[in-house]
Structure 1
Amino acid sequence: MPTGGRALVDALRGLGVETAFGLPGVHNLDAWRAFPGSGIRLVGVRHEQTAAYAADGYARATGRLGVALTTTGPGAANAVAATGEAWACHSPVLVIATDIPSTDRRAGGYRGVLHETTDQAGFFRPVTKAVVRVDRAEQIHAEVIRAGRLAMAAPRRPVYVEIPTDLLGADVPESTAEPEQPTGRDGDISLDEAVAALAAARRPLVWAGGGATAAGAGELVARVAERLGAPVLTSYGGRGLLAPDSPCLVPLPPHAPEAGALWDDADVVLVVGSDLDAMNTQGFRQPRPPRLIAIDLAEPVTYPPDVWVQADAAVALRGVLATLPEEPRPAWWARPDGRSAYAGPEVDFLEAFESALPPDAVVVADMCIPGYWYAAFGKVAAARGLAYPVGWGTLGFGFPASLGAALSGRPTVALVGDGGFLYACGDLATAAQERLPVTVVLVDDGGYGMLRYDFTRRDEEPLGCDLGSPDFVALARSFGVPARRVTVDELGAAVADGLASGGPSLLVLEAAYTPPLTTSPRWYRARG
C-alpha cells in the first residue's frame, strides 16, 4: 500500500510538476523516499530559503508551478522571506512543509517536541494566498492538488501546505479520484465602456505589467497599442512583453522624465495586469490620469480605475481588438531616444553585458546597483526574461532564484552584487553538484553600494557599508565552479563562454556604479 509520502509525490505529478527544490530533514524523509522513479527532478539545496527562491525563479522563467519542500519548525521558518517575495511578485509557488507528528500535538500548548512551534502555519499566513493543513493521511493527495491549482489560479500567488510528519509514513489508499478543478470567472465580460473611452481618447497610453505576462498577452498588447497609436510603458513585471525594437514600446522606465511625461500627457491610460505599485510609480507620485481603464482579475486599489474589466488580460484584449476600428491611428507621441541620454560607465556595462545574451535569455537580477540598471534600462528581449525582486525587495534573491531559472531550459544569467551573493553562496555547492547551467556575474564594489550612496549623497560618512569579502574566484573554484575576474571589455565574451559551457560559472567584475533613476533617492517626482 502506498504511503502518504507517495501520495504527495503522486499529487505533484498530477499537477504536472517536473522539478522541485528542497532540503531533507528527519521529519520529511518519507516524502524524499517517494521521489526516485517519479520523473520529478528533486534538487537538494543547502538552505531552505534557497529552495523557495529557486522555486520562485523557476516559476518566473517558465510560468509553471514552482515547488519548495522544507522540514519542520526552523526549516519552514527559513523559507518565509523568499515566500514573501513570491507573494509580492505574484509568483505561483507551492511551499510544502512538515509539522511535528500529529500524535505529539496538543492544541494551545508547547511541549518541547523537536522543531515544535505553536503555530507554524502562522509564519506563512501574511505571505501566501492560502494555508492548507492536512489532518489525515488520506487527504494528502487531494489537498496538495487543490493547493497547487489554487497557486496557479489567477491572480497567482504562493500557497503553503503543512503535513504532520507521521502522515507521510502512514499507509493510504491508492489515489484515483482527482479533486474538482477550480473554475475561472463565469459569464461574458463587458467591454463597451472601456472601448468607448479608448475610441474617444486623443492621447491614449498603455501600461502593461505582470498580469499581461502571466496571460501571455505581449502580442495582444502590441496590437492594441498599434490600433490606438499609443505608447506602451511596462512595469518590472512587464519587461520583455514587447521586443526592444517595437515601435510602440517606450524604451525607458516610467521613472525617466521622458517616459513620465507621456503618462502625464495621456488623456486615457489603459492598465493591463498591473498593480501600479509604489516601486513603479515613484511612491504613487504619478498623477492619476483623467481617465483610467484597468484590465485585471483583481480589483486595482492603488489607483482606482474609472472602468474595471475583470478578466484575464489576453481574453479582454482580444475583445478590445474585435471592437476597435482595424485602421491603426497615427501615433500622437514621439519615441524617446532611450538610454543613450544616460550614457556613462553604467550604460557601457549594460552594452557589454547584453552583447552575449541570447534572445531567450533569463536575467535574474538582485537588489544591487547593476541589477537596478538592467531591470530599468536593459533590453529584455522576451517575456519572462527578467526576474527581479521588486516586490519585497529581498536582497540575496538573485543567485538562489537563478538556480531555479536555470532549469527552465532558457539561458540563465544571475546579476548580483558582492553583498547579496554572500547570502546564499553556500549553494555554489548545489550549482556544482547538480551541474546547473547558470552564469553568475558578480559586480564587486566592496560592500553595499546602494547604502554607501545614500550616505554620501547627504555628505555623511558611510557606516556599515564596507564589507570584508572572500576571494570570490577562489571561493567558487573551491566548490568546483569555474570562475575568473573580468573587465568590462572582457565581460561579453566571458558571459558567452559561461552560457556555452552548459554548467555553472562565476565572473567577477570589480567596479562601482551610481544608482539609476529608478532608485528612491533619485526619483524625479517630488512629493505633493
Structure 2
Amino acid sequence: MTHDHDIDLRPTPAQTAAALNPPAGRNGGDLVVETLQGLGATTVFGLPGQHALGMFDALRRSDLRYVGLRVENNAGFAADAYGRITGEAAPLLLSTGPGALTSLAALQEAAAASAPVLAISSQIPTAGLGGGRHGYLHELRDQQASFRDIVKSVHTVRTQSQIPSAIAAAWESALTAPHGPVWVEIPQDVLLAETTLPQVAPVDAFPHDLLPRPELTAVAADLLARAERPAIIAGGGVVRSDASGKLRALAEQLNAPVVTTFGGKGAFPWEHPLSLQSWLEDRHTTDFLEDADVLLVVGSGLGELSSNYHTFTPRGRVIQIEADAGKLESNVPALGIHADARIALTALLETLEGPREDPAAADRVREVLTRVRERIDAQDLGAEQQLLASVRAALPDASPSFWDMTILSYWAWSAFDARRPNTMHSAQGAGGLGYAYPAALGAAAADPTKPVLAVSGDGGAMYSIAELATARQYDLPVTWLIVDDGGYGILREYMTDAFGEATGTELSRPDFVALAESFGVPGVRTSPETLTEDLSKALAAPGPSVVVLPAVLRLFAPTHLG
C-alpha cells in the first residue's frame, strides 16, 4: 500500500512558476487539448461544429496534429483504426446532437473490436441542460443516453476544473482491458469561457492491469498439461493485447493446434505446422475443435461467427480467457478466467512445466486443412480464390489492410494470410458498412511510412466517397480497391438464396475512376488478370490511389449445416 507520506506532493519550482503565470487568451478548449497532450496524445480526429468551436480554436494553440474527416462516422472509423494500429487512445472531437449521433455506428464497431477511442463531444450551454425544452440548436433531452449502450464509460463535465480529471479517467478506461470507446461531454459555454486555471501538467492515467486469479491459472495449467488433444481458439483479444508471441510459445509448448477467429487474424502464423488458419465457417474445423478434450479460448467470446453460427458444441473442457467479464461463459460453459490475454498467457507459460510431446498434432492439422480445401475446390470458386491471392501478392507483408463488409472480405476472413499480427482489420465486430476506407486513412495517419490497403464493394464505397478529399488533403498513402458488382452483393446473394430474388440490392453508381480523379486522386480500372500488377503499382506510388475491379463474386457454400 502507498501512503501519502511516501510521495512528495510539492510542485517543483518550475511547476509553481508556470502555474502562477498562465498564458493569457486561453479557454476551456485549451484545457481539453492541454490534457490530451499531457496524456501523450499526438493526433486527434474529428469534425468541428457550432458548440465545439472552443475545442477546435484551442487546437491551433497546441502541438496536436488534427486530421479532419468529412463525416463524423468516418472520423470515428479513422480513430478506431488509429487506436488498433498504435494501441493508444485515439481522441475523436465531435459536436453536439446530429454531429455526435452520426458517430454512433463507428463507436459500436470500436466497442465490438475493443478499439480504444476517446470521444469528446460538446453539449448545449449548461443553462439549457436537463429536459430538452429550451430550443437550443442540436439539443437532445439526454445526449449521454444515446451513448451509454455503446461505450465503455461516460464522463460528464460541467465546470472547467472537471475537464482534466474527466479526460484522464476516460483515457484510463479506454486503455484498460478490454480496450474500447469512451465518451466525454462538455457544454459549449464551458469550452468557450476564458480560463484562469494554470496549464495542465503531464497527466498520469495508467490503465489497470487485469490479472488472472492464481487459483484459476493453476487449474487451467493442470488441464492443459494432462490434455491428450488440446486445441486453441485465438481471438481479437490476442491481437489487442499484443500477445501473439506468447500464444505461439504456448501452442508450441503444448503442441496444440490453433485456429484464429476473424477478429484474431494474424495472431498465429498462417503457415505454422500447428495452424488451422481461420476456417471457422467450416464443419471440418468445427468438428475438430469439438473433439478437443481441452479447448483453450483466448480473447474471444465465441460469438456468432466464431462459433460457426452457434452450431459449435464442444465435448471437452473449455478454458476461456477473456478481458470482458460479460463474455465469460456467455455462449459456452467454461473455466472462465477474467484477464488480459497477454498476462494470462504469460501466467500459463510460467506455470506449465516442460513441452508436451505429440508428433501427430501437425498431421491432424494437415488433414483438416486438406478436407477444407477439397470442399472449397469442389465449388468452382477458383476465380474468387485467385483474386484473393492477387491481393495478397500485391500487398507488402507489413502493410495493414482494412476490409469492408463485402464478398471479397468474407473470403478474406477465412482464407487471407495476414502475415503479421495487427495488420488485417475489418468491420466484422459490429458489421456496419463503410468502415474500410476511413479506417485505412486513420491507419495511414498513425504510420505514413507504409502503404495501406482498403477493400470495399461499390455499395460500401458510397458511404466513404467524401473521404477521398481527406486522403488528398493530408496526402495519405492509402490505396482503395473497389470491387464493383453493381450493388449490395452479399445481400443480393442472401436474398436470392432465401426468397428466389433480391429486392433493393441493385445500385446505380458513378464512374469511380473519374470520380477519384475529380478529387485529384489517381484511379485505374483493372481486371482479374491485371489486378496484382495494378494494385502493386498503386501501393508503391506515394499518396492516395483508387483501383476499381468490375467483378461479380460468389461466396463459398455455408458449412454450418452439418
Bin of the TM-score, shorter chain as denominator length: over 0.9
Q: Are residues 1:81 and 2:105 paired?
A: yes
Q: How far apart are residue 305 of structure 1 and its match? A: 4.3
Q: Which residue of 1 aligns with 2:209?
A: 184
For residues 467-505 of structure 1, what are the alpha-carbon distances to aligned partners after superposition, in whole Å with 9 as ceiling and x for unaligned? 000111111111111001001222122222222222110
Q: Is the contact between residue 95 and residue 121 of structure 2 (CA under 8 Å) also seen in structure 1?
A: yes
The 1:384–1:185 alpha-carbon spacing in structure 2 relative to 1, beyond 3 Å, is closer
Q: Does residue 385 of structure 1 match 2:408?
A: no
**CA contact 1:62–1:384 (8 Å) conserved in 2:** no
Larger mean CA deviation between 368-377 and 181-190 belongs to 181-190
Say yes or no: does 1:313 pair with 2:337: no
- Asked if 2 retains the 8 angstrom alpha-carbon contact of 1:482 and 1:506, the reply is yes
Instruction: Check the 8 A contact 1:286/1:525 in 2, yes or no.
Output: no
Query: 1: distance between equivalents of 2:492 and 2:132?
Result: 47
**More moved, 137-146 vs 252-261:** 252-261
Is this contact kept in 1: 2:93–2:121, CA < 8 A? Answer: yes
Tell me how far apart the structure 2 counterparts of residues 64 and 139 of structure 1 sit (CA, whole Å). Answer: 23
C-alpha distance in 2 between matches for 1:165 and 1:64: 27
**CA-to-partner distance for each residue in 1:167-189, whole Å, 9 max, x for gaps?**
11221411237466453346863
Is the CA contact 1:372–1:516 (under 8 Å) kept in the aligned structure 2? Answer: no
Q: 2 CA distance for matches of 1:154 and 1:450?
A: 33
What letter corresponds to residue 313 of structure 1 in structure 2?
Answer: A
Q: Which amino acid aligns with 2:495?
A: F
- Report the counterpart of residue 481 of structure 2 in structure 1: 441
Question: Which of 230, 235, 242 does residue 216 from structure 1 map onto?
Answer: 242
Say which of 502, 509, 513 aligns to 1:469.
509
Distance 1:384 1:232 in 2: 17
Where does residue 200 of structure 1 map in the other structure? 226
Answer yes or no: is the 8 Å Cα contact 2:42–2:63 preserved in 1: yes
In structure 2, distance between residues paired with 1:99 and 1:455 = 42
Q: Which amino acid aligns with 2:444?
A: A
Q: More displaced, 202-211 or 407-416? A: 407-416
**Structure 1 counterpart of 2:62, one-letter code:** S
Instruction: Say which SS state the counterpart of residue 44 (structure 2) adopts.
Output: strand
The verdict on how the C-alpha distance between 1:172 and 1:180 changes in structure 2, with shifts beyond 3 A counting, is farther
2:93 alignment partner in structure 1? 69
What TM-score do the two structures reach when normalised by structure 2?
Answer: 0.89
Pair 1:525 & 2:554 matched: no
SS of residue paired to 2:409? helix
Equivalence for 1:137: 160
Secondary structure of the equivalent of 1:236? Answer: coil
Task: Give the stretch that moved more between structures: 20-29 or 452-461.
Answer: 452-461
Moved more, 291-300 or 162-171: 291-300
* 3-state secondary structure, aligned to 2:59: coil
- Give a deviation string over 1:101-129, Cα, whole Å, max 9, x none: 113x1422421111111111111111101
User: SS of the residue aligned with 1:205?
Assistant: strand
Give, in whole Å, the separation in 1 of the partners of 2:418 and 2:308: 22
Change in Cα spacing, 1:16 to 1:177, as seen in structure 2 (3 Å) is closer
Structure 1 residue 87: deviation in Å?
A: 1.1
Q: Does 1:160 align with 2:183?
A: yes
The answer as to 2:294 corresponding to 1:268 is yes
The 5-angstrom pairing of residues 474-489 of structure 1 reads: 474-489=514-529
How far, CA to CA, are the matches of 1:461 and 1:186 in structure 2? Answer: 52
Q: Show CA shifts across 1:386-411 (max 9, x none).
A: 11111211011111211112223243
Task: Give 1:301's match in structure 2, choosing from 321, 329, 342.
Answer: 329
Q: Which residue number corresponds to residue 4 of structure 2?
A: none
The partner residue of 2:365 within 317, 320, 334 is 334
Contact 2:445 2:476 in 1 (8 A): yes
CA distance in 2, matches of 1:249, 1:334: 7
The 1:177/1:219 distance shift into structure 2, 3 A limit, reads closer
* Residue in structure 1 matched with residue 117 of structure 2 by the alignment: 93
Deviation larger for 320-329 or 145-154: 320-329
Deviations 1:284-340 (A, max 9, x none): 210133200112233313234432233222222222222323234224323244675
Q: What is the identity, as a one-letter code, of the residue corresponding to 1:414?
A: A
CA deviation string 1:154-179 (max 9, x = no partner): 11111011110111122141123746
| Percentage of pairs with the same residue | 37
Cα gap change, 1:100 to 1:269, in 2 (>3 Å): same
Sort the Cα spacing of 1:423 and 1:12 in 2 relative to 1 into closer, same or farther, 3 A. same
**SS in structure 2 at match of 1:237:** coil
CA contact (8 A) 1:226 1:329 kept: no
Q: Which amino acid aligns with 1:334?
A: V
Native 8 Å contact 1:19 1:67 kept in 2: yes
Q: Max radius of gyration: which structure?
A: 2
8 Å CA contact 1:417, 1:443 repeated in 2:
yes
Other structure's SS at 1:285 match: coil
Shift, 1:261, TM fit: 2.4
Match of 1:126 in 2: 149
Paired with 1:416 and 1:283, the residues of 2 have a C-alpha distance of 24
On the 8 A contact 2:35/2:202 being kept in 1, the answer is: no
Q: Distance in 2 between matches of 1:58 and 1:368?
A: 22
Tell me if the contact between 2:83 and 2:115 (Cα under 8 Å) persists in the aligned partners.
yes
Cα separation, partners in 2 of 1:137 and 1:456, compared to 1, 3 Å: same
Q: Is the 8 A contact 1:222 1:248 kept in 2?
A: no
Q: CA RMSD in A?
A: 1.9
Q: Which moved more, 1:423-432 or 1:288-297?
A: 288-297
- Pick aligned residue for 2:45 from 1, 4, 21: 21
Alignment pair present for 1:421 and 2:468: no
Q: Distance in 2 between matches of 1:143 and 1:86?
A: 20
Letter in structure 2 aligned against 1:32: F
Contact 1:212–1:272 (8 Å) recurs in 2: yes
Separation of aligned partners in 2, 1:26 and 1:65:
25
416 and 27 in structure 1: CA distance in 2 versus 1, 3 angstrom threshold: same
Distance 1:187 1:216, change over 3 A: closer
Structure 1 residue 448 displacement after superposition: 0.8
The aligned amino acid for 2:186 is I
Contact 2:212 2:343 in 1 (8 A): no
Judge conservation of contact 2:329–2:336 (CA < 8 Å) in 1. no
Runs of 4+ in 1 over 6 A off after TM superposition: none
What pairs with 1:274-289 in structure 2 (closer than 5 Å)?
Answer: 274-289=300-315
> What TM-score comes out, normalization by structure 1 length?
0.94
Q: Which runs of 5+ in 2 are unaligned?
A: 1-23
What residue is the counterpart of 2:6 in the other structure? none
Matched, 1:225 2:256: no
* Counterpart AA for 1:374: A
Select which of 57, 63, 75 maps to 1:51: 75
Distance in 2 between the 1:138 and 1:173 partners?
8
Determine the C-alpha separation between the residues in 1 that align with 2:118 and 2:196: 22
Cα distance in structure 2, aligned partners of 1:306 and 1:515: 33
> Distance between the aligned counterparts of 1:464 and 1:224, measured in 2?
49
**Structure 2 residue aligned with 1:258, among 268, 284, 290?**
284
The aligned amino acid for 1:258 is: H
Cα distance in structure 1, aligned partners of 2:257 and 2:531: 33
Over 3 Å counting, the alpha-carbon distance change for 1:382 and 1:177 in structure 2 is: closer
**Which stretch of the first structure deviates more once superposed, 379-388 or 496-505?**
496-505
Letter of the 2:561 counterpart: R
Q: Partner of 2:21 in structure 1? A: none
Residues 488, 62 of structure 1: CA spacing in aligned structure 2 closer, same or farther, 3 A cutoff? farther
Match of 1:453 in 2: 493
Bigger CA drift: 167-176 or 354-363?
A: 167-176
